[in-house]
Amino acid sequence: MIPAFAVFLLLAAAPSRADEACVPPSFYTSLPRDREYYYGVARDADTDKARDAAIRNLGKQVSGDVEGWSAAQVAALAGPCRDKFSVAASVGRLLPKSDLLAGWEQDDFARCAGLSYVLVRIEKERVERFIRESPKFKKDLVDSLAARVERVERDVDALKTRLDRLEASLGRLPRGAAAPGDDAAKLDASVVEIRADLKAGKPRADVERKLAAAEDAYSKLERRMGGYQQGRDAAERARLSALREEKAPDLQERLSKIHSGAWTYPDAARVVGIYSQLKDYESLRVFSRGLLARKDRAVIAGHEDFFAYMVMACDLALQDDDAVLKDGEAFLKDYPASNMYEAVKAEMNGVIAKSRMKSSVPASAAASPAAASAAEPCPGP
């Protein structure tokens, strides 16, 4: 227990007219003060309140000064992997409950114009010795830090989740020559840097600021890319509309020949080519299925597997996974010697793998917090 300094109270007499007309005492406003002391000042109409406020201000000055301690000083107090600003904040919360301020010295006191002015001080050396030598104070501080470990881990997990989401979003951005690839590349580099900061145990506040800036930059880039994509889609729609008008006579002529029965394989292949150019996959799928069901399908003898494959290719383009599996299974059964047999098998396996991945997402999500916690570089005291 640190013995308290003697308390020096310079009590003024009852205020007179001169007192009421006075100016605040010079000890309250004069700067600089002795660098060997911490100071707390306050004023209030109630003398006791002024004294209490001055002591609280003294505590704030002490804890604020801790922020300027060297890394070695902070490590001696709080151990490794502790941010000095967090230590200072904990010291600030603990000071009012500690025995340290029993050593405050009331340096001066005066009344002026109905207000009590109080200045208190405590030696810096006494503060540092108390913090380093008081087992209770160090225990309280460590307990305070330990209580934050779970929250720290949750915050780090949340940061990692946001990083994963940002990285996935970046991966979906188009990287063509017309896209703002430089901005996307800068964001990629930011993600790498933030992950490195997390792994190195940098202060969360710094990581949070970088991540918030990266998310903001991504949001702006996404809006730009959205406008770019809308423009590109509009241009593509205009191109297809013009192409549809250009190909309409040829398409109508080929379809009429097939409908009348006076058709050849080149007529059917030409229709497939036109629908493909127009990206009209639904019409192409209906046409190819209808062709395979015709009674005069002998016209395409030796090419049936090509039209069957076009059915499944349209299923893929339309993202109709059930149809891919159904039509793919029929293809493998009907055309085991086709050159496209292995390609169909690979497409079916891709759809099956995608389906399995979707069904396993909840299990992966449940496992991720444990993995993130295990990677935490500073597990706490």
pTM, 2 dp:
0.42
Tokens of 81: 């992997």
| pLDDT band at residue 68 under the 50/70/90 scheme | low
Mean pLDDT across 346-350: 91
User: Residues 118, 106: contact at Cβ < 8 Å?
Assistant: yes
> From CA 132, how far away is CA 141, in angstroms rounded?
11
Per CATH, the number for 17-147 is 3.10.28.20
pLDDT of residue 101: 66
- The pLDDT score that the predictor gives to residue 332 is 93
Any idea which architecture 263-361 has in CATH?
Alpha Horseshoe (1.25)
Higher pLDDT, 102 or 44: 44
In our burial notation (b when 16+ CB lie closer than 10 A, e otherwise), range 344-367 reads: beebbeebeeeeeeeeeeeeeeee
Judge whether 14 and 87 are in contact, CB under 8 Å: no
Residue 150: partners with Cβ closer than 8 Å, 6 or more residues away: none
Distance of CA 13 to the CA centre of its chain: 63
Q: From the CB of residue 303, how many other CB atoms can be counted at a distance below 10 Å?
A: 14
pLDDT at 330 over 90: yes
Does the structure show a pLDDT above 90 at 80? no
Q: How far is CA 278 from the centre of its chain?
A: 41
Average pLDDT, the chain: 76
Chain segment 129-185, per-residue pLDDT in tens? 777 677 776 666 666 555 555 565 676 677 778 888 888 877 776 655 444 556 777
Does residue 170 contact residue 187 with C-beta atoms inside 8 Å? yes
Q: What is the pLDDT of residues 258-293, one digit of tens each?
A: 999 899 999 999 999 999 999 999 999 999 999 999
